């Protein structure tokens, strides 16, 4: 049985906040889902809001927090309404407020609507926005578990993580571990988009292969063959079709050279040029860079200009510059946006060098 690395990380986070003495403590549900191709948290909030509220309450109980905050993306009106209705029901049932179910445990949960921006999904930028400051990531350490919202210990998890907590508590760890397939542990919600017949959110046993998930989603649209896929949203490296046998699991996807990222499978059919797709992604990260780190702010702009010039004129892309920019962003960025901004482009050049003028198979290394 492959124990979930994510499960261990979540355990460490909860343990850290639980061990802190400072009061008050907070639980923040990060519902600011903004990665292109990623919409699983929206669907969970719309369809299963009770699990989200219950997960926050359980997290608060475990770590000793009295205040929960759902930090939600501003376009998610339907999800917000579903959560508000669920919070009202929980208050009526005595599951929120002072003296929950006659105990000495107090808990209030409120919804905070994000002012908008991809970077606000980064946990420390999110905290800055909650404190009415410009949403830029903080240097870490200290981590939010020790010095979080208003300087207090703060447990922060995303929607999916919190929604899974009630089921694991109810059915037990053995149930959770046996829910995966072929030695992998647990279940996973994945947003499937791109060239499939039935895009949507699928809950699958971890260890399901990418090819099987594409079949679940009705197969590649228009009876075309699979060309490529991004297994973890826009920030993950594209992989060629021959990797579709990869089991969906954090470690196995990393071994193939990509990542699970935000839990979003983006499917690309044969016949689709990949350079414009990679250019779109780099442009997105250029637009969403908060500008705090100069290399990220200027580097993503420079890379965007270079790719756009290549697409427009067919002139070779200068890989020595792209390589240097990628190294620089990896070494100097404060947050994940800078680390991943050029990854999709690099992966296209690595696997499909013939689609990138000026690129040889060796160029991206």
| Distance in Å from the first CA to the final CA of the chain | 34
- Which 3 state secondary structure label does DSSP give 295? helix
Contact between 280 and 251 under an 8 Å Cβ cutoff? The reply is no
Closer CB to ligand SF4, residue 64 or residue 338? 338
* Token couple for 343: 């990854």
194: phi then psi, degrees, rounded to nearest 5 = 95, -140
Long-range contacts of 322-327 (CB under 8 A, 24+ apart): 322/346, 322/364, 323/363, 323/364, 325/295, 325/299
Provide DSSP, 155-185.
Answer: EEEEHHHHHHHHHHHHH-HHHHHHTSSTTB-
Which one of the spans 20-28, 59-67, 78-86, 331-339 is the region binding ligand SF4 (CB under 6 A)?
A: 331-339
Determine the interface stretch with ligand SF4 among 149-157, 201-209, 272-280, 334-342 (rule: CB under 6 A). 334-342
291 binds ligand SF4 (CB under 6 A): yes
Q: Which is nearer to ligand SF4, 17 or 337 (CB)?
A: 337
Q: How far is the CB of 64 from ligand SF4 (least distance, A)?
A: 31
Nearer to ligand SF4, 193 or 300 (CB): 300
Under the criterion CB under 6 A, does residue 119 sit at the interface with ligand SF4? Answer: yes
Q: Does 333 bind ligand SF4 (CB under 6 A)?
A: yes
Q: Which is nearer to ligand SF4, 23 or 140 (CB)?
A: 140
Residues in a beta bridge with 191: 201, 264
Out of 65, 149, 244, 293, name the contact with ligand SF4 by CB under 6 A: 293
Interface positions, 218-257, toward ligand SF4 (CB under 6 A):
none
Q: Is residue 283 a contact point for ligand SF4 (CB under 6 A)?
A: no
Six-digit token pair at 15?
A: 């343990």
Residue with the two structure tokens 């191709």: 37
Site string for ligand SF4, 135-164 (x = CB under 6 A): -xx---------------------------
Residues in touch with ligand SF4 (CB under 6 A): 119, 136-137, 289-293, 296-297, 333-335, 337-338
């Amino acid at each position: 049985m492959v124990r979930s690395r994510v499960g261990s990380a979540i355990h460490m986070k909860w343990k850290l906040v639980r061990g802190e003495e400072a009061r008050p403590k907070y639980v923040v549900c990060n519902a600011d889902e903004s990665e292109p191709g990623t919409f699983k948290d929206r669907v969970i909030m719309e369809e299963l809001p009770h699990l989200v509220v219950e997960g926050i309450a359980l997290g608060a109980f475990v770590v000793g927090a009295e205040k929960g905050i759902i930090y939600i993306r501003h376009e998610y009106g339907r999800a917000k309404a579903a959560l508000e209705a669920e919070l009202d029901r929980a208050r009526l049932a005595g599951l929120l407020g002072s003296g929950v179910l006659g105990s000495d445990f107090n808990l209030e949960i409120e919804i905070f609507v994000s002012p908008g921006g991809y970077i606000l999904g980064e946990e420390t930028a999110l905290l800055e926005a909650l404190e009415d400051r410009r949403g830029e990531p903080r240097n870490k350490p200290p981590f939010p578990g020790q010095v979080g919202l208003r300087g207090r210990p703060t447990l922060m998890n995303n929607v999916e993580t919190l929604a899974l907590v009630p089921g694991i508590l109810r059915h037990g760890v053995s149930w959770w571990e046996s829910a995966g397939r072929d030695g992998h542990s647990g279940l996973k919600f994945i947003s499937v988009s791109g060239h499939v017949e039935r895009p949507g959110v699928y809950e699958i046993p971890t260890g399901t292969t990418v090819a099987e998930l594409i079949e679940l989603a009705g197969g590649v649209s228009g009876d075309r063959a699979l060309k490529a896929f991004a297994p973890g949203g826009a920030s993950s490296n594209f992989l060629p079709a021959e990797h579709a046998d990869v089991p969906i699991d954090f470690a196995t996807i990393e071994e193939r050279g990509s990542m699970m990222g935000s839990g979003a499978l983006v499917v690309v059919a044969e016949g689709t040029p990949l350079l414009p797709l990679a250019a779109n992604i780099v442009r997105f990260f250029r637009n969403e860079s908060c500008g705090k780190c100069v290399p990220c702010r200027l580097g993503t702009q420079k890379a965007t200009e270079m790719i756009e010039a290549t697409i427009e004129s067919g002139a070779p892309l200068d890989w020595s510059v792209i390589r240097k920019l990628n190294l620089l962003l990896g070494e100097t960025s404060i947050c994940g946006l800078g680390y991943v901004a050029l990854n999709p482009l690099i992966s296209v050049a690595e696997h499909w060098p013939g689609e990138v003028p000026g690129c040889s198979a060796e160029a991206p290394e």
